[in-house]
Structure 1
Amino acid sequence: MSHHVCANAVKIAQLITAESGKPVKWARIEVTRAVSTFQWAAEEARRWSGHLQRLDTDAGSTGRLALVRRAPRGPILGIAPFNFPLNLMAHKVAPALAVGAPIIVKPAPAAPLSSLVLGELLAETALLHGSWSVLTVTNDRASDMVRDPRLPVVSFTGSVPVGWSIKEMVPRKHVTLELGGNAAVVVCQDWDDEDKHRYAAERIARFSMYQAGQSCISVQRVYVHEVHYASMRKHIVEAVLALGTGAPTEDNTDVGSLIDERAALRVAQWIDDAVAGGANVLTGGMRSGTTVEPTVIEDTPAGARVLDDEIFGPVVVLCSTSSDRESFDRVNVSRFGLQAGVFTADLHTDFRASQLLNVGRVIIGDVPSYRADQMPYGGVKDSGTGKEGVRSAMDDLTDERVLVLTGIDMQ
């Protein structure tokens, strides 16, 4: 990476931290991922050539050959949230540029500056005029853009109610929705020694609390086989207490603040409601301004919002189960289905989890917070419709066009 690019990366990471409160260690990772997202798109654009299909295998199609290519559905409206203000914008812009589709992106009003910096960088390139635009408007004005017939494609990442309202608002448009989740982890019966427990606990602690839990694939629910519950509970609490809290500009800060005080108040209220219903807070639970302490809860009653809804805060709920099958069933009770993580060392359990869990992806041997930017990404149920991930998004933003050639000698 050149000195110029490195200098830009440092400044942009600092900007992400300044506007969103994201710890700078996570902001740096986000910048690196955004760079990779554009690199993947550039590589995929080189391979974006379509394919040939022989038709002369039918008696009535002698001498015919089909060229199957993909063409943009039309100009795109991309709407991105505040929690990954750079990389989620890259996931809108990079695939659109790769397929030649003009795109207007609307960043979240709470964190628009990263998108504007991305726009400045794109303005230094040789991209065609009008191939991209960054438009900072309030959320209520965005409805006019969603309805605008000149934008036949809407790619939205954000909250569940807003996402489905867009789908209902413009049923004839092509709409991709990347919505919420309350991601679950399953610790299986075969995950059966102390070192494995420590590893799983550290991953659960880190990725339930990173970015103050403001990620749709943050660990929120943990289902542990009863034979390992006491050990896992101990190690998870220890790992959560070991996380660094404080100013997001400090390198040793793992858990920062929420985006605003309203979000923090909501998270604190959900914790209080769970406790009122009989839940036990093992650590954390207190709020100060926009900051909520990293919180671990157990004995949570059925119907509690910390279990059923997306908390989008630094909270993880522990549950003991009598079997792996019970754990899988309880994961599926959720109205969300984005990703799940399964800690198992058994190959048969790997495939059984993939078969039984009604989610977009199952991550074996790790938490559901893993995302590679080139792989298909998207969920089922209330987690949305359609797929991102560079190549998947390129497919989603286009449709097939077929050219049939006649009189071709293919002997």
Structure 2
Amino acid sequence: MTAATPKQGDTWRVLGVTLAIQAMVSMAVLTIPAIAPAFAERLHVPVSLLGVFVVLVYSGAILASLMSGQLVRRFGAIRLSQAGLLFCATGLLLTMAPSVWAVAPGAFLIGLGYGPITPASSHLLAISTPAHRAGLVFSIKQTGVPVGGMLAGAIAPPLALQAGPLAAVAVVLAACLICVLLGQPLHATHDTDRVPGTPMRIGGLLRPLRLVLAHAALRRLATTSFVFSGVQLCLAAYLVTYLHTELAFDLISAGIALSMAQVGGVIGRIMWGYVADRFLGATRTLITLSLLMAGGSIATGLLGEQASFVWVMALAVAFGAAATGWNGVYLAAVARLAPEGMAGTATGGALSVTFFGVLLVPAAFGLVSDAAGSLGAGYVLLALPALLCAVVLLRALKLGGER
């Protein structure tokens, strides 16, 4: 007897589980950065090594996202998501060792756990979600990323101050393990499309990327995401430093601004998914977001010491809604354009490009800001690639009639 394939109609149950998993792996990635000073002090290393930690995490994420198509097909999307949580938990366990040489492979393992989660959930949601609801559903699921960031920021620092950094890491590790159990009931009903005998080939690592590069619309979306992800990370990684060192905000106020940007991201991901589904379509929505990112970058870079706290918080929410709100619309578009049954593969290939943006754009932002002598100048110049994305997408809309 052949197992049934998951059908549309189970959208909200799948969404709830994938949202929780996304939030947990995001929290796993962001917990160490959230307690970086205390964590670095424990290891007797400079806080600047946080950059190496982030590079190792996203290097693992790139590799895992490229493998995700084969892994989803062989093991099923739910089982792969559970494995991702276990990799994150193992990586966090290694970071608890009193040696930087254990933290390094721990960071890479966290990335290996983080990388396949979005392709796996895209595979599940592409099957279970009606097309007219895809943008909203994918956007809600992607709120797991800023939700995970908010949880890391709200839970990890107080725990680190009260009980030490190891306590904060241990709590997140335990949450990942609990989330593994949360996904188990869906395995029997939503991993029935797996093909257990699917061979795992090294050459298959490039298949997702080749799929994306061979498809003009997917290639354009992936290239756009390279810039968008870079803008998102520049906002998250540099905002506190910028407000504190150049605008004389105290650290608590600067931290609140970063939290407000994450709140904006949660609101934006849901709002833009609804707008794409009901009004503008994916391409027009992404053009709008490109322009808003450019405007947010310029407005942030032109802030002066006289800027009021209320204005900075409002700007942080608006900038966050654009710079962190694009993911669901993007992923729904990738899943829609992918060949039938290959949403996970296409998402993995597209995300490998996205993660390269995470690695390269913030580094370039730092170099440009150093050369200009101001993070404000870096934010202003960050508007240029965002505007270029708007031009490219607008041209595609006019020439190709894309939705």
For the aligned pair, the TM-score class normalised by the smaller chain equals under 0.3
TM-score (norm 1): 0.22
Q: Which has the larger radius of gyration?
A: 1
The structure with the largest strand share of the pair is: 1
Higher relative contact order (CA 8 A, sep 6+): 2
The structure with the largest helix share of the pair is: 2
